[in-house]
Amino acid sequence: MTVKRDFIEACYGRPVGRRPIWIMRQAGRYQASYRAVRTKHSFDELCHTPELAAQVTLDAVRQFDLDAAIIFSDIMVILPPMGLPVTFAPGPKIAVPIRRPDQIARLKPLDPRADVGYVMNALRQVRAALPEPVGLIGFSGAPFTLACYAIEGETSREYPTARQFFYREPDAAEQLMKHFADAIADYLNAQIDAGADAVQLFDSWGGLLSAADYRRWVLPHMQAIIAKIRRPNVPVILYVNGSSHLVDALSDTRCDVVSVDWRTDLPAAAAKCAKQTALQGNLDPVALLGTPDEIRRRVDTIVDEMDTTGKGHVFNLGHGILPPTPEENLRVLVEHVHARRPRLQTAGNDQ
């Protein structure tokens, strides 16, 4: 018998028993339990040890009655096996970034089961331990975001070196994007095989691009990834930070769910998306530092706006939860989202 998961149903715009919610970075520093684990283990240990990754993944769901778990990992884990070692100090640092076209030809293909098998082991452990109605999300960084890190070599606000590479070496940039897209598709397929019920692509820096450049450099690779990982009832979510100007292009990737940040008007985004595309988001993470009444008020606004669209909706923040967030405020958020009676969706996708 197939288990009905409200999170999956909402991703396809189908009727749900309760309005689903999960939170980006829901296993993290705002949690006392996570901080306790970090006193004994480094971030790198957590990512590379399936038992620890499974533990912190499950803790968040158990503590806050969330409708989906997202596997604890990092988007950078697939870079070292391809020949781009990463250190954290504390942000990601690549000692020898890509600055010349000949470096791209030397990148290795990714064998996800051999190179990052610990992620699949963690997924299997979490799926086995999760209550059946709770969804499990796998994820990867998107090609452009990985390219930004690989070329810039470190975190940046604007990634000028990376973007310059695309302007000056368009053929090499295309080769790099294809290399990452192939690896990401293989990686996400391995996660689905290991038990992920859905996958999310994080394009943290895609919003730096104009709509024209996104369509030129990113869209074809996103379409290729999504075509390669398409499975019945395994929705694909795409999150791009700062994407108000890109919503129609994100829908054109043929993802099932477009996840938007708090600066994006939900009804306007819904109007730009394909009929069957659901939305995810989009509470400002800072709102969780406010009062319980203000949190409830903002939830009501988002829910009311989404109910006017007739689209599927997965409640989430517009970015990751902030470390100073009180745990009790997250409980207020989850309880109030669940208290809002789900509206019968009308724009369903019958995959």
Bridge partners of 240, per DSSP, are 203
Rounded to whole angstroms, the Cα distance separating 76 from 329 reads 30
Rounded to whole angstroms, the Cα distance separating 97 from 171 reads 18
Rounded to whole angstroms, the Cα distance separating 207 from 263 reads 12
pLDDT higher than threshold 50 for residue 327: yes
Which tens digits make up the pLDDT trace of 198-209?
A: 999 999 999 999
> How far, in whole angstroms, is CA 163 from its chain's centroid?
22
Eight-state DSSP code of residue 338: H
Which tens digits make up the pLDDT trace of 15-33?
A: 999 999 999 999 999 999 9
In the chain, what are the helix, strand and coil shares in percent, each to the nearest 5? 50, 15, 35
In the residue annotation, 29 being an active-site residue is answered as yes
In the residue annotation, 331 being an active-site residue is answered as no
Q: What confidence score (pLDDT) does residue 3 get? A: 72
Report the mean per-residue pLDDT for the chain.
95
Of the residues 6, 74, 115, 203, only one is catalytic, namely 74
Of the residues 18, 29, 215, 216, only one is catalytic, namely 29
Within 10 Å of residue 219's Cβ, how many Cβ atoms?
Answer: 18
Q: Which amino acid is at 315?
A: F
In the residue annotation, 124 being an active-site residue is answered as no
Q: What confidence score (pLDDT) does residue 1 get? A: 47
Mean pLDDT calculated for residue range 287-293 = 98
| Residue 320, φ and ψ in degrees, nearest 5 | -70, 150
Q: Is the distance from CB of 151 to CB of 161 less than 8 angstroms?
A: yes
Q: What confidence score (pLDDT) does residue 342 get? A: 83
Rounded to whole angstroms, the Cα distance separating 348 from 335 reads 25
Q: Is the distance from CB of 66 to CB of 60 less than 8 angstroms?
A: yes
Using CA atoms, how far residue 30 sits from 60, 82, 145, 155, 336, in Å, is 11, 32, 25, 22, 20
Q: What confidence score (pLDDT) does residue 312 get? A: 96
pLDDT higher than threshold 50 for residue 167: yes
Mean pLDDT calculated for residue range 296-323 = 97
Q: Are strands 313-317 and 236-240 parallel, antiparallel or unpaired?
A: unpaired
Confidence of residue 264 (pLDDT cuts 50, 70, 90): very high
pLDDT higher than threshold 80 for residue 265: yes
Mean pLDDT calculated for residue range 36-40 = 98
Q: What confidence score (pLDDT) does residue 346 get? A: 46
Of the residues 25, 127, 163, 343, only one is catalytic, namely 25
Rounded to whole angstroms, the Cα distance separating 12 from 335 reads 23
Q: How many residues does the chain have?
A: 351
111: left (phi over 0), alpha (psi -120 to 50) or beta: beta
Of the residues 18, 38, 215, 340, only one is catalytic, namely 38
Of the residues 12, 149, 159, 214, only one is catalytic, namely 149
Percentage of the residues of the chain whose pLDDT score is greater than 90: 94
Cα–Cα nearest to 321, from 27, 65, 47: 27
Higher pLDDT, 341 or 272: 272
Which tens digits make up the pLDDT trace of 109-143?
A: 999 999 999 999 999 999 999 999 999 999 999 99
Cα–Cα nearest to 88, from 70, 71, 76: 76
pLDDT higher than threshold 50 for residue 347: no
In the residue annotation, 74 being an active-site residue is answered as yes
Rounded to whole angstroms, the Cα distance separating 81 from 112 reads 9
Q: Is the distance from CB of 280 to CB of 13 less than 8 angstroms?
A: no
Q: What confidence score (pLDDT) does residue 344 get? A: 55
